[in-house]
Chain A
Amino acid sequence: MDDLIKYAPDLLAGFLENVKLSLICAVLALVLGTILVSMRVSPTPVLRGAGTVYVNIVRNTPLTLVLAFSSLGLSDTIGLAFSATPSTNSFWLVVFGLSAYTATFVCEALRAGINTVPLGQAEAARAIGLTFLQSLRLIILPQAFRTVVAPLGSVMIAMIKNTTVAIAGGYLMESAFVMRDTFDDTGVSIPIFVGLVIAFMAVTLPVGFVTSRLASKLAVAR
């Protein structure tokens, strides 16, 4: 217990990094996932093909490899740099990798949602003269989002937990790494471990609760 109190400020600072990663990646993954699913249902074969290939490759690659690719491949080899400060740079490389990875799950959740929207509504949208993008934005996606709020919540919970493998992308400031670092000094400390688990649950449980409440509130009656 003393260990937990002693290292609490460090751990808290680390945990705030997890929260920061989560918030930024959530936004980016939702945006990128929406773009990907739009590609996957688009009438243009090239876009459809590109979306499918991207999703199937990235979704089936272990996250640690995606992050390693983002830091070793993109940063070290190609020279992609978000910042001159190494820790800031690796933060954004992790954001990049984790968003790119999570977006594929967002895409697939949304695609399942799109499949629940009756085809006739898309035809009716076309019949009144809406373009493909308009019917996607005004008719299909709003209904798809509402039906997959709960699955999207699960994707977000998985993503929040996935911020703890940021070390694979070279980012050393998040809480799980801080914890292991601390264990090197103190030996394994159960209170620290439990404290961190509770911190994560304090974030993930509400996400699950809120999204499942929203899901029933937003359900579209057909």
Chain B
Amino acid sequence: MTEPGDPRPLVNLEGVNKHFGTLHVLKDINLSVARGEVVVVIGPSGGGKSTLCRLVNRLETIDAGKITFDGQELPAEGKALARFRSDVGMVFQSFNLFSHKTILENVTLGPIKVRKVSKSEADKRGMELLERVGIASQAGKYPAQLSGGQQQRTAIARALAMNPKMILFDEPTSALDPEMVQEVLDVMTGLARDGMTMMVVTHEMGFARRAANRVVFMAGGEIVEEAEPDAFFTNPRTDRARDFLSKILTH
């Protein structure tokens, strides 16, 4: 069902609307992400980018419209919802590692408790993943003992440990000191190259140009523009995108 060559989109949003109270946060969103595709979502703060990410693994519910994942509508609750979420990785701006668990335990908890993998097998695979993101030597430490960049790479390994069909990234480098941004982007670029389906909210243009197939520009709860990265950054079609880009380019 999830072969890379499958032409059906992995995620499909149709006429999706979301309100917080009276605030209309997402307006008639139509968006699909193909298998193996990397979509970068960019736009001003408050435009609805995080909400969009959170809808896709149902951390938020929608008011109207339809979201399908792998051809199925998202389960509403209970075990089915938990199982669905285990197939969609999520990497947060603030890492959200489990503070009372070691780095390795953060990575193996999901496989052991959700996938029912044996501890020894989970540990072995967990160490491989920590190796892959370059922090195997920190496996026995606790999150608070690691730098932000190392914590975020742990969070990526934690998502990968579930063998997800897709990973959502919500501003994964925005909380990092500048010198740690690149190490995280490098891991993400590697994932993109290996064919992981990714939706990435970020303002890192270098990453978008290097790794993304498509840029989605969101403002005021709407998708204002969609384009290939180079076209978007060199020649945005809308005033709003142009205006936004001129602002982020000045710093």
Give A contacts to B, CB under 8 Å.
118, 120-121, 123-131, 134, 138-139, 142-143, 146, 220-222
Contact = CB atoms under 8 A, between A and B. Distances in A.
Contacts of A134: 113-114
A134 B19 CA distance: 29
Nearest to A222: B99
B242 interface: no
B interface, how many residues as a size bin?
20 to 34
B85 A126 contact: yes
B100 A129 contact: no
Contacts of A127: 57, 59, 85, 88-90, 159
B83 interface: yes
A120 B92 contact: yes
Interface of B: 57, 59, 78-79, 82-90, 92, 94-100, 109-110, 113-114, 142, 144-145, 155, 158-159, 162
- Residue from A118, A124, A127 whose CB has the most chain B CB atoms within 10 Å: A127
14 contacts: A118-B96, A124-B155, A127-B85, A127-B88, A127-B159, A128-B89, A128-B109, A128-B110, A128-B114, A128-B159, A129-B83, A130-B109, A130-B114, A131-B78
Nearest to B155: A124
A126 B114 contact: no
Query: What are the 4 tightest A-B residue pairs by CB atom distance, in nearest-first order?
Result: A129-B86, A120-B96, A128-B110, A221-B144
A129 B90 CA distance: 11
A146 B55 CA distance: 33
A128 B110 CA distance: 6
A139 B98 contact: yes
A116 to B, nearest CB: 10
A125 B82 contact: no
Contact of B98 (A125, A131, A146): A125
Contacts of B113: 130, 134, 138
B79 A124 contact: no
- Residue from A121, A142, A143 whose CB has the most chain B CB atoms within 10 Å: A121
B249 to A, nearest CB: 31
A129 B86 CA distance: 4
Contact of A123 (B78, B92, B145): B92
B100 A146 contact: yes
A56 to B, nearest CB: 28
Contact of B158 (A128, A138, A139, A143): A128
A126 B145 CA distance: 24
Nearest to A122: B96
A124 B96 contact: yes
- Residue from A124, A139, A220 whose CB has the most chain B CB atoms within 10 Å: A124
